[in-house]
Amino acid sequence: MLGNAFEVIVGLLLLVWGADRFVHGAAATARNLGIPPLLIGLTIVAVATSAPEILVSIVASLRGEPDLAIGNAIGSNIANIGMVLGVVAILRPIELKSATLWREMPALLAVTLLTVALFLDSFLSRVDGLVLLTGLIIVMFWLTRLGFRSSSSDPLQAEFDAEIPRHMSMRVAIFWLLVGIATLLVGAQLMVDGAIDIAKALGVSEVVIGVTLVALATSLPELAVSAVSAFRGEYGLAIGNIVGSNIFNLLAVIGIAAVIQPAVLPPSVLSLHIFVMVAFTLVLFAMTYEYDGRGLITRLEGFALLGAYLAYQAYVVVQNV
C-alpha cells in the first residue's frame, strides 16, 4: 500500500506539472498561429485542462479497466463544481459577466443529459462512445463559431488574452507542448497503476477509486487555475475553466474509454454517482443564472458546494471502505 500510495503521489505531481506545461505550450502555439485568444481559451485551453483525465482514461481502458475511466470522468465533474468552485467562491465570491459563458452553460447541461441517456441501459458500448465523440466534434465546431462571433467587449476576451503566453517562439512553445504530453502520459500510467492496486488492496471497485482518489487528483490543475484566476479578478476564467473541463470530461474521457473498452456499468453509477453529478450541474446552472441582473456565486454558496462535495465523498468512503 505504501508503494502504491507513492506511485499515486508521484503520478499526481507529474499530472499537475505536465498539465500546466501542456496548457502553456498549446496556448502559445495557437497564439503564434494567429488564432484569436477567446477561441484558444474556449477550445484549446479547455481540452488541455482535461488532458489529465483524458490520458488516465486512455491508460485505464487499454489496461482493461474502463470503470476507472468512467469513475474518473464523473468524479472529476463533481469535484470541479463541488470542490473547485466551492473553494474558489469561499476565497473570493465569483461574479459572472461573460455572455459567452452564459451560452456555454446550456451546452454543459445538454451534454450531461446526453450522457445520462446513454447510461440508462447500464452498458456503455462502442456506439455510445462514438456518439459522445461525435458530440465532441459538434461542440468543438460550435465553440469555434462562438469564439469568432462573441463580442470583443466580452470580459472573457481580455482575460484569455492576458493569460495566454506572449512573445514565446514557436520552437519553445512546441517544446513545452511535447514535454507536457510526455509528462502527462508518465503521470497517468503511475496514477492508474497505483489506483488499481489500492482498489484491490482495499477490496473496492475501480469506480469508487475513480470518483474519489483519481478524480480528486486530476481536478487539482483546475483548482489551481481557477483559484489564481479568481484572485486576479478573472471570474470568467474561473468558471469557464470548470464548464469547459466538464464538457470535455464527458464527451472525450467517457467517449474514448467506451471506444477502447466497452463496459457494463456498475449499479452504483446509475443509483448514486451519475445522480450526484447531474445534481451538481443543475446547481451550477441555477447559481450562475441572472435572477437580479447579474450572476454571482457567494461565499455562502461556496460553503454549500464544498459541504455537499465532502458529504458525498464521506458517504462513498463509508459505504465502500
At 204 the pLDDT is: 84
pLDDT (mean) for 161-177: 83
Q: Quick one: which of 82, 26, 76 has its CA closest to 217?
A: 76
Confidence of residue 124 (pLDDT cuts 50, 70, 90): very high
Strand partners, 264: 123
Judged by DSSP in three states, 95 sits in strand
Strand partners, 263: 124
Contacts of 8 (CB under 8 A, 6+ apart): 190, 191, 194, 195, 198, 213, 217
Q: Does the pLDDT value for residue 44 go beyond 90?
A: no
Tell me the per-residue pLDDT of 251-286, one tens digit each, with 9 for 90 and over. 999 999 999 999 999 888 988 999 999 999 999 888
Query: Using an 8 Å Cβ cutoff, are 65 and 248 in contact?
Result: no
Q: Does the pLDDT value for residue 123 go beyond 80?
A: yes
At 295 the pLDDT is: 66
Spatial distance between the Cα atoms of 72 and 253, rounded to a whole number of angstroms? 9
Spatial distance between the Cα atoms of 204 and 196, rounded to a whole number of angstroms? 10
| 233 vs 24, higher pLDDT | 24
Q: Domain 2-320 - what CATH class?
A: mainly alpha
Spatial distance between the Cα atoms of 177 and 132, rounded to a whole number of angstroms? 26
Domain-wise residue ranges, the chain: 2-320
Tell the residue number behind the cell numbers 462513498, with chain if given.
316
